[in-house]
Amino acid sequence: MQSVLFSFLAGVSTVLGVFVLLLFGRPSKRVLAGLLGFAGGIMIAISLFELIPESVDFAGVPGAALGFVLGVALMFTVDRTAPHAHVYSPESLEVENPAHAPASRNPLMRTGYLVLFGIALHNLPEGVAIGAGLESSPKLGLAVAVAIALHNIPEGLAIGGPLRSGGLGIGRIILLTLAAGLMTPVGAIIGQLFFNISEAFVGGALAFAAGAMIYIVLDELVPNANKLHPHWANIGINFAILLGFILFLL
């Protein structure tokens, strides 16, 4: 139940991105770059300082290596079949009055739905990552859930911007975004069904989570953050990694 709760809270954080967009409008490049960079840095820190060492303890180096490769491979496959990255540009977050949105804005609606579908698929392995962390320790599971929640807030922005500009109502945007976020606890439930097989499987799942998160960082968060504002992106990344290292030492 704890894994379902943590993954649920991480998943619904996607809706926070929609509320931020609707309440405050388009965020500045600095703010968005810093948030993306910070989320990426936290993911790297958790993967290097927690997930991979725990995975080696459970499954040994071969099991950890296999799990890591499978995590990267799955995210690569999902990203190629349902891409949702590279949508954090200022234009994609522009919110117009939908009552005055011309017919030419319909492609934005299609873009929003594509992003929504892609994020929903990406959220499944993220749920598995949270469950794997909890199998190791509550502290690690909570850390993974927080990292994924930070990553999901900009994804809510990426969903809400195109859909709102395309003329979709606020209520439907929130419901659709919530549905995408709820794929995270679904992934946690699926993973939980397999975690009782053996300690080696848990170890492989921890490395799988690390591979999935590092792929997200390198393929999505860092490139998009640098496009928005390289300086603030690097500040967010370095601060998050330093924070993760300090917490690891403590």
**Domain span including residue 191:** 2-249
pLDDT over threshold 90, residue 173: no
Q: Quick check: pTM over 0.75?
A: no
Number of domains composing the chain = 1
Sequence-distant (≥ 6) Cβ neighbours of residue 243 within 8 angstroms:
41, 42, 45
- Residue 133's nearest CA partner among 187, 74, 178 is 187
Give the tens place of pLDDT for each residue, 201-247: 878 888 888 888 888 888 877 887 888 788 888 888 888 777 767 76
What is the four-CA torsion angle of 128, 10, 182, 25, rounded to 10 degrees?
A: -140
Residue 69's pLDDT is: 94
More confident residue, 117 or 174: 174
Residue 55's pLDDT is: 87
